[in-house]
Amino acid sequence: MRIVKTIDEVRKAVKEWKSTGLSVGLVPTMGYLHEGHQSLIANSVSQNDKTVVSIFLNPIQFAPNEDLESYPRDPERDAKLCEDTGADIVFRPEVSEMYHDDFCTYVDMDILTKNLCGKSRPTHFRGVCTVVLKLFNIVKPDRAYFGQKDAQQLAVIKRMVRDLNLDIEIVGCPIVRESDGLAKSSRNTYLNEKERQAALVLDRSLKNGIELIDAGERNSKNIIAAITEVIRSEPLAEIDYVSVVDAVSMQDVDVIENDVLVAIAVKIGRTRLIDNFSFSV
């Protein structure tokens, strides 16, 4: 496995691979990798001849009041996880490699980015779409892998690929959880022991929603109320949103008639966590 830091190095390697007919998978990450990222890499390795993992803490998807500076970092551990899982290249550029000083071109999306996380993080998806499109143009992968935990991000990337006619297959991979149900996240490291226990309310609340839907409930207001009630039983939890949205458009639905995403964002102490489940009609 090679660790490269320049765009030219990645392009040269991919060009050589593709000249011999090899397929290429891309796993975009911000680093501090865990088993969830590892599952994405493993999927790419199994489905492609070569795999590139990008590790880039993208500054333009963080608002000024967010955790860019405190976001956890461990490049040596990241590299070992990538190598152990079978990645061929880790692309770890500096900010100056990805963005010129006078950079002024961004990817904006309407509709899908206005709801859920887009409400409380209005500039977030602009940064996500911009950096992901740049990575797609740099690596030119056949397939790219994203986790279902960031379900809105997955939907946004799929729509960007469709709308901009990109010749890339987007592969969504299941949420990876701790043994007690907490969804794997790099931000879980922010939680102290008491907060870590309190965070289990996210999984409990979603299970309550799943049981309700499985029992035949299709009114979104009732599902949201049931999930909200569980979350509010935890004193350390502060709700950002509890929503039932169309699985494609990310818009709120009153009654479940098509495939939906049931998504939540909850602050535990100062840490904002997200989780979700999908339901197919």
Across-strand partners of 27?
53
Calculate ∠ Cα 246-172-222, nearest 5°: 30
Evaluate whether residue 98 is within a structural domain: yes
Strand pairing of 260-268 and 271-279? antiparallel
* Shared domain check, 71 and 10: yes
pLDDT (0 to 100) of residue 60: 98
Residue (of 247, 165, 169, 244) closest to 210 by Cα position = 244
Digitized pLDDT (tens) for each residue of the chain, 281 residues in all? 999 999 999 999 999 999 999 999 999 999 999 999 999 999 999 999 999 999 999 999 999 999 999 999 999 999 999 999 999 999 999 999 999 999 999 999 999 999 999 999 999 999 999 999 999 999 999 999 999 999 999 999 999 999 999 999 999 999 999 999 999 999 999 999 999 999 999 999 999 999 999 999 999 999 999 999 999 999 999 999 999 999 999 999 999 999 999 999 999 999 999 999 999 99
Which helix (H) or strand (E) segment holds residue 49: the answer is: none
* Shared domain check, 144 and 225: no
Residue (of 281, 278, 125) closest to 206 by Cα position = 278
* Shared domain check, 193 and 126: no
Other beta carbons less than 10 A from residue 208's beta carbon: 16
Across-strand partners of 255?
219
Tell me which DSSP letter residue 111 carries. S
Query: What three-state secondary structure class fits 29?
Result: strand
* Shared domain check, 231 and 161: no
Task: Note the maximum CA span of the chain.
Answer: 58
pLDDT (0 to 100) of residue 44: 98
Q: How many residues does the chain have?
A: 281
Q: How far apart are CA 216 and CA 196, in angstroms?
A: 32
Distances (CA, A) of 37 to 74, 149, 226, 248: 14, 11, 31, 24
pLDDT (0 to 100) of residue 142: 98
Evaluate whether residue 201 is within a structural domain: yes
Q: Tokens at residue 146, please? A: 């994203």
* Shared domain check, 57 and 169: yes
* Shared domain check, 165 and 228: no
Across-strand partners of 272?
267
Evaluate whether residue 180 is within a structural domain: no
Strand pairing of 89-91 and 271-279? unpaired
pLDDT (0 to 100) of residue 227: 98
* Shared domain check, 166 and 48: yes
Evaluate whether residue 167 is within a structural domain: yes
The domain that holds 135 is classified in CATH as 3.40.50.620
Decide if 62 contacts 95 (C-beta within 8 A).
no
pLDDT (0 to 100) of residue 181: 97
pLDDT (0 to 100) of residue 261: 98
Residue (of 163, 156, 189, 205) closest to 270 by Cα position = 189
pLDDT (0 to 100) of residue 220: 98
* Shared domain check, 62 and 11: yes
Query: What three-state secondary structure class fits 92?
Result: coil
Domain ranges, residue 58: 2-173
Catalytic site includes residue 37? yes
Burial of 229 (0-12, 13-18, 19+ CB in 10 A): exposed
Long-range contacts, 119-122 (Cβ 8 Å, 24+):
119/241, 120/240, 120/241, 120/265, 121/63, 121/66, 122/63
Query: What three-state secondary structure class fits 151?
Result: helix
Burial of 93 (0-12, 13-18, 19+ CB in 10 A): buried
Q: How many folded domains does the chain comprise?
A: 2
* Shared domain check, 227 and 164: no
* Shared domain check, 40 and 158: yes
Evaluate whether residue 205 is within a structural domain: yes
